[in-house]
Structure 1
Amino acid sequence: MKKISKGLFLSIIIALIATLLGNFFPIIGSAVFAIILGLVINNTLRIPADFQPGIKFSSKKILQASIVLLGFSLSIQDIKSTGLSSLSVTIVTITVAFISALLIGKWLKIPTNTKVLIGVGTAICGGSAIAAVSPIVEADDDEIALSISTIFLFNIVAVFLFPFLGHLMNLSDAGFGLWAGTAINDTSSVVAAGYSYSEAAGDHATIVKLTRATLIIPISLIIAGIQVYKKKHLAEKVSLKQIFPWFILWFLVASLVSSSGILPEAFIAAAKWLSRFMIAMALGSIGLSANLIALLKTGKKPVLLGLATWFLVAVSSLLVQFFQGQL
């Protein structure tokens, strides 16, 4: 605990300030303020190395815990209906992401592993998907770092750009939630963009994103199958325990318990507030981890690939919703 205390305390301070600012400016929200504060602090001050374990813990474990707590405020019926209704859009956007990454990457003459990692990061769940797939394709450290930096750059942009575009297009809460949940790369950025649009949009986007995240299993197995076909010795690289986002199961358990009616309203309200506060902690820590100068120096071709793939995914999500009458 002592190892993570400094970074954890800093993320709590950022979350407190962000929550206060979010109360004064609800149209922006605490999540966006948290990531802005983290970015400003990290890119203007030198954060000591002993803060990093706590910052990393907050950006990963606290985020997952906040999603679990969010489950207490969502009924299992809503999760089921929203998740199922989003599947068609999710499958289309995942397909578009992979085809775009491979074809555009080939045109840009980007190495195969980098194309695959940027494709899977855009298609499923950002850095988590890249981390799951990288050992399967035997990516080296440079390929992993380059892919994660590219995806992370557009995660940051999405937090600010998507709510603005959503209001510009006058999207409904459900329409924006489905768009954000299928077109923004990382769970943290989906949550930030969703709740800055509206509370209903945030709930919807979170469910859609978690549904999308579970597809890392079949995608990883397909990629592993291709790799095994090419190189027989890679079969042992795939581990369900490593690739499955287990916190989603606890999110469902929390929703089931809440839907049973045994929990008092005061507990559910407290869990929801704590979830939002912990989301602010996690996003503040993500901001504290982002070196804007380093991100801007990321290779031009991978950034161009990430931008093109992300743009096509965002457009395809809107088009599918439009033709299905979901906007």
Structure 2
Amino acid sequence: MSSIFHSASTTISMRIANCLHRHQLSAALVRPYLPGLLLVAMISAVVVSLGRFSWLTEHGLGVLSLAIFAGIATGNTTAIAGAPQSAQGIRFSKHHLLRLGIVLYGFRLNFQDLADVGISGFLIDSLVLSTTFGLSIFLGMKLLGLDKNTAILIGAGSSICGAAAIMATENVVSAKPEEVSVAISTVVMFGMMATLLYPLLYHWNLSLHLVSVRAEFFGVFVGSTVHDVAQVVAVAHAAGEKAEHAAIVVKMGRVMMLAPFLFLLSLTLSKKRVPSDQSVMTHQKPVQIISVPWFAFVFVLMVAINSILTIPKHWLNVIQQVDMCLLAMAMVALGLSTNLSMIRKAGSKPLLLGGALFVWLMAGGMMINQVVSYLF
């Protein structure tokens, strides 16, 4: 009997010891990330609270825009962000929380809503995206002499969905924090200019009748050319409910193009990774390695789930709030890891590129909208 009791007690003791060891191991793995995660979370909480002020959103300063600026301000005025113990948590937020946030962003979209736009909306979105991104590569690299990553990031943000597209594209091109921050700052600045100019243009057109005065036409124009989702809502709201609905649906169509855009970009940027001496020895063609952004496909899967299943509105609101917090944390982390002195070294060229794309989105985007609306 005593031997049985001894055997049982020994087994229990070993299991308790193993459990404690696992908990200690887990704590040891998590502990290095906590300081940085707590710092990012605290700043993000303040930013999300500020994002509820209507004045800020009406002027194009959404949560994501505020987050990057708050991170940059904190990272460049305090020594907290540069502390070694914060580095791992900031890095984790910048990479992993971002990808999770992009995935959850899919629950904002619905295939059925996008179908309401029809072929014309899809064609407008495709033409605006491809021409704007192509113009960014040509002007940025050929004329202005910018590095490839900066031209790609500014082009992605201008042609798709602002800061969110830049953050997603950053994973494909492996851009430096300074390059990402330059691109986001440029796109946010011209997106804010759009929130000021577009409503004025709409009201001027009501009296001048230069183009169609229909609210739906203006909404499609806004959704296909304004940078960020929040800025689209702010601009279209000034023209009424019909314009706002059309703008949001068309803008969601542009956002949906993020996944195929990332895949095609990854395919284009794929490198030959087999060493040259090995290729010569084996007389084989180098293998093309494609860096596929897995989160982009999961993003599309989330859109499909949201389209097929009837998810309660309460849960959708919760998912969207969590998603906004994750994206805000990723943006704060990017700002914390950004050195303003490196941005200043970029000079005026990114601003010139962003300005040129802004003019193209207004003038070229209007031309594309008019031609497509005439044909369809």
Q: Same fold (TM over 0.5)?
A: yes
Question: Which residue number corresponds to residue 138 of structure 1?
Answer: none
Question: Which residue number corresponds to residue 312 of structure 1?
Answer: 356
User: Does the 8 A contact of 2:232 with 2:251 survive in 1?
Assistant: yes
Question: Which residue number corresponds to residue 289 of structure 2?
Answer: 239
Question: Which residue number corresponds to residue 9 of structure 1?
Answer: 38
SS in 1 for 2:152: helix
Shift of residue 280 of structure 1? Answer: 2.0
User: Does the 8 A contact of 1:38 with 1:284 survive in 2?
Assistant: yes
Question: Which residue number corresponds to residue 109 of structure 2?
Answer: 74
* Number of residue equivalences: 294
Shift of residue 177 of structure 1? Answer: 3.9
Q: What is the rounded CA distance, in whole Å, between the counterparts of 2:188 and 2:361 in structure 1?
A: 19
Give me the TM-score of the superposition, normalised by structure 2: 0.63
Matched, 1:211 2:257: yes
Moved more, 121-130 or 81-90: 121-130
Residue type matched to 1:294 in 2?
M
Q: What is the rounded CA distance, in whole Å, between the counterparts of 2:252 and 2:179 in structure 1?
A: 24
- Percent sequence identity is 20
Question: CA offsets per residue over residues 224-246 of structure 1, 9 Å max, x none?
Answer: 69x99xx997x757422x2x332
SS in 2 for 1:255: helix
SS in 2 for 1:297: helix
Choose which of 21, 41, 44 in structure 1 pairs with 2:74: 41
Q: What is the rounded CA distance, in whole Å, between the counterparts of 1:192 and 1:315 in structure 2?
A: 20
Matched, 1:100 2:139: yes
Question: Which residue number corresponds to residue 206 of structure 2?
Answer: none
Shift of residue 194 of structure 1? Answer: 5.4
SS in 2 for 1:63: helix
Choose which of 140, 154, 176 in structure 1 pairs with 2:186: 154
Q: What does residue range 280-291 of structure 1 map to in structure 2 within 5 Å?
A: 280-291=328-339
Question: Which residue number corresponds to residue 26 of structure 2?
Answer: none
Shift of residue 166 of structure 1? Answer: 4.4
User: Does the 8 A contact of 1:118 with 1:130 survive in 2?
Assistant: no
Q: Which has the larger radius of gyration?
A: 2
User: Does the 8 A contact of 2:154 with 2:187 survive in 1?
Assistant: no
Shift of residue 270 of structure 1? Answer: 1.0
Shift of residue 23 of structure 1? Answer: 1.9
Choose which of 112, 123, 130 in structure 2 pairs with 1:91: 130
Question: Which residue number corresponds to residue 253 of structure 1?
Answer: 301
Structure 2 vs 1, CA of residues 318 and 10 (structure 1 numbering), >3 Å: closer, same or farther? same
User: Does the 8 A contact of 1:32 with 1:193 survive in 2?
Assistant: no
Question: Which residue number corresponds to residue 224 of structure 2?
Answer: 178
User: Does the 8 A contact of 2:270 with 2:289 survive in 1?
Assistant: no
Q: Which runs of 5+ in 2 are unaligned?
A: 1-29, 157-164, 203-214, 238-243, 280-284
Q: Which runs of 5+ in 1 are unaligned?
A: 135-140, 185-189
Structure 2 vs 1, CA of residues 206 and 236 (structure 1 numbering), >3 Å: closer, same or farther? farther
Q: What is the rounded CA distance, in whole Å, between the counterparts of 2:181 and 2:92 in structure 1?
A: 19
Matched, 1:321 2:365: yes
Q: What is the rounded CA distance, in whole Å, between the counterparts of 1:310 and 1:101 in structure 2?
A: 9
SS in 1 for 2:37: helix
Structure 2 vs 1, CA of residues 7 and 195 (structure 1 numbering), >3 Å: closer, same or farther? farther
SS in 2 for 1:215: helix
Shift of residue 54 of structure 1? Answer: 1.7
Give me the TM-score of the superposition, normalised by structure 1: 0.71
Residue type matched to 2:98 in 1?
L
Shift of residue 104 of structure 1? Answer: 0.8
Shift of residue 162 of structure 1? Answer: 4.5
Matched, 1:122 2:154: yes
Residue type matched to 1:104 in 2?
L
Residue type matched to 1:96 in 2?
L
SS in 1 for 2:311: coil
User: Does the 8 A contact of 2:114 with 2:252 survive in 1?
Assistant: no
Q: Which one scores higher on RCO, CA 8 angstroms, separation ≥ 6?
A: 1
User: Does the 8 A contact of 2:103 with 2:299 survive in 1?
Assistant: yes
Q: What is the rounded CA distance, in whole Å, between the counterparts of 2:52 and 2:259 in structure 1?
A: 31
Structure 2 vs 1, CA of residues 101 and 31 (structure 1 numbering), >3 Å: closer, same or farther? closer
Q: What is the rounded CA distance, in whole Å, between the counterparts of 2:65 and 2:177 in structure 1?
A: 25
Question: Which residue number corresponds to residue 31 of structure 1?
Answer: 64
Shift of residue 256 of structure 1? Answer: 1.5
